[in-house]
Structure 1
């Protein structure tokens, strides 16, 4: 008698935790919270340019953008930060036209050192301005072709460790260096990430939350295979984009039984998407979980003024309400409308305030959540063979054009 199946037995929380502890010995992102930041801060303090342009794509930019987007309106930043991450010619041209390239530090980031999009944009920059050691910083693996180029031109380089995957690299030089240069406190970032690290690995609050959430996602993946992050702040638009990459690229895999696995990430912004996607959540198919992210303190006292609008007197109850209070009440209304249905899994994350520790804690928790989900699913969270095949095809097409 022969027997085959396409499912796995349920693995215990303790077994998963044990696997994560083992993995921590050779997967580098876990331990980035312990790193020394002096070299990053020393370099940052010497940058004279007013503008910083990060040239990269995917994991080389998304995490940095997420943190910058969250903090930029609450911090007195010392420099302007821009991202060139697409080969769309209109995007490239319009962004560069708004920047004084002679007062710009170019930060070229590529883990492999041969990323087509990154090298293409860097070549174009070369045609516009003189590129040399005074205005260019390279962040890459130390044995990459890009590192060879940097060394040949006496450019400053920082390393992306081989055991840190691109989409898990935000707390390495990839994110910390550009953020330090523009004036963000990278020690506070690492402090926020370390709080989650300590809580998880000591089996405290974050351990319980991550394990419970990961188990629900995986055990109900055939019913609820779409995971919606509903962020109630435009500041979290960058986080949503980062989440979509780390979730999709890490968890869309073939497992040990050659069964295709995957959880589909959706990132939306409230209250904007209350008027579109919420309809699909409430009355559409029951195939979605919802995570609502709120910000408790927006650092803003902006209020709705007491202005009389003829014919709209019935909305006078809005007068003198702070916009931060309004958006959180909109979030609460969404949460209540979902919970009242009793058939949509929903959880709520409340960020205390807008600072480095808050966004770093959120992102590190999602890195852990991704890794734990992968263990429950018996897949490798850190490779991306489905992406690599497309890169090979692209290079063949370009070489044989």
Structure 2
């Protein structure tokens, strides 16, 4: 994975302080250790699931589902997987009914994921599915040790797995939360972690990623009031759900009160997919208010060689320039053209992430890159990156409403 940055920052003292803070943070924040974990217990667990199980279904929301979904949807188009993976992550009744119509309950294993063990959305869905299929062997529960969910699972003799200590939901994709469903589908979780480890080692051991991430984070922090909207413009449909994961990670981590002031700060994430969003949101970036930065993501090798055929269409002869062009080359030419147009504007900060190919290692690198970037920016804009009091406030009000329903 490469990151080309087209803007500069000169705050060396600030960058060094941020690096030292993140280095120290490894002692208390659990996600930093995930690339180095022993995955043998996870592999052993997956082997206990009967071969007759054809489908894995995650019942969870937010950090309990978005990361695994991002990886699964990235890998699924280019790899023949052992099982299909579904996500029950909404209380939309039509969505629940539609998903249930697509699976065979008797041949599905459900992963019920809730860090707190009391997530309302998760358990409203679980209660409904359990009313249709009450075999405890069809469920595995993933939660914090000692949570109400663990107590419930033990009471019905169902399997329970734990989240690692001090790993928040939106940083949990490389833990049991993401690795279990992905491994059960045949995704190479070892390669996923190896990709994350490459970024970790490069950053903490003064490799290429150290200056790259520090420069980018320092720039975002320095101009966070001017360029307070960060657009991730990914040129592949397979990255759609990665963009959704990024939106949660960025928004929930960085939209806060500052720790040492009364100011509200935050960076607004927007996920875009090229080339289709060239025909919608690009106009706003190009000629709208100068409050947006843009990161492009390109894939060099799509693992697909389909080519535009050598066909001439009457009255459309000018489009013969497309003939013989591989689609993967066309989509990257579209990306490069938009980047060049924005660079010509000179007041829109952009950078590009280049992914060599569609595989687990590169997705692992991309995930850990964004987790590190989030932590660095949070440190530099002086917020607690790992809490979410705004989300908790809404949960409290909902619980009060449910008592009076």
Shorter-normalised TM range: over 0.9
How far apart are 1:10 and its partner, in Å? Answer: 9.6
Structure 1 distance, partners of 2:153, 2:91, is: 22
CA contact (8 A) 2:14 2:218 kept: no
- Cα deviations by residue, 1:68-115 (Å, 9 ceiling, x for unpaired): 010001111000100000000000001111111110000000000000
Within 5 A, what are the aligned runs for 1:130-169?
Answer: 130-132=134-136, 134-169=137-172
- Structure 1 runs not aligned, ≥5 long: 1-8
Within 5 A, what are the aligned runs for 1:1-400?
Answer: 12-47=14-49, 48=51, 49-132=53-136, 134-255=137-258, 256-400=260-404
CA contact (8 A) 1:229 1:292 kept: yes
How far apart are 1:283 and its partner, in Å? Answer: 0.6
Tell me whether 292-301 or 46-55 shows the greater mean CA deviation. Answer: 46-55
RMSD after superposition:
1.1
4+ long deviations beyond 4 Å: none
Q: 1:315 to 1:296 in 2, by over 3 A?
A: same
When the two structures are aligned, how many residues end up with a matched partner? 392
- Cα deviations by residue, 1:324-379 (Å, 9 ceiling, x for unpaired): 11100000001000011111100000001000010110110000000000110111
Tell me whether 84-93 or 150-159 shows the greater mean CA deviation. Answer: 150-159
Structure 2 distance, partners of 1:382, 1:337, is: 37
Structure 2 distance, partners of 1:98, 1:13, is: 50
- Cα deviations by residue, 1:32-68 (Å, 9 ceiling, x for unpaired): 1111001111121232200000000000000000000
- Cα deviations by residue, 1:174-227 (Å, 9 ceiling, x for unpaired): 000000000001110110000000000012111111100001111011111000
Structure 2 distance, partners of 1:82, 1:172, is: 19
CA contact (8 A) 1:374 1:381 kept: yes
Q: What is the TM-score of this pair, normalised by structure 1? A: 0.96
Q: 1:199 to 1:70 in 2, by over 3 A?
A: same
Q: 1:162 to 1:391 in 2, by over 3 A?
A: farther
Structure 2 distance, partners of 1:37, 1:222, is: 42
Tell me whether 324-333 or 308-317 shows the greater mean CA deviation. Answer: 308-317
Q: What is the TM-score of this pair, normalised by structure 2? A: 0.95
Q: SS of the counterpart of 2:352?
A: strand
Q: SS of the counterpart of 1:72?
A: helix
- Structure 2 runs not aligned, ≥5 long: 1-10
- Cα deviations by residue, 1:291-338 (Å, 9 ceiling, x for unpaired): 000000000001111223222111011111111111000000010000
Structure 2 distance, partners of 1:398, 1:312, is: 61
- Residue equivalent to 1:4: none
- Cα deviations by residue, 1:213-246 (Å, 9 ceiling, x for unpaired): 0011110111110000000000100110000000
Q: SS of the counterpart of 2:179?
A: helix
Structure 1 distance, partners of 2:130, 2:46, is: 23
CA contact (8 A) 1:11 1:376 kept: no
How far apart are 1:161 and its partner, in Å? Answer: 2.5
How far apart are 1:265 and its partner, in Å? Answer: 0.3
How far apart are 1:141 and its partner, in Å? Answer: 0.4
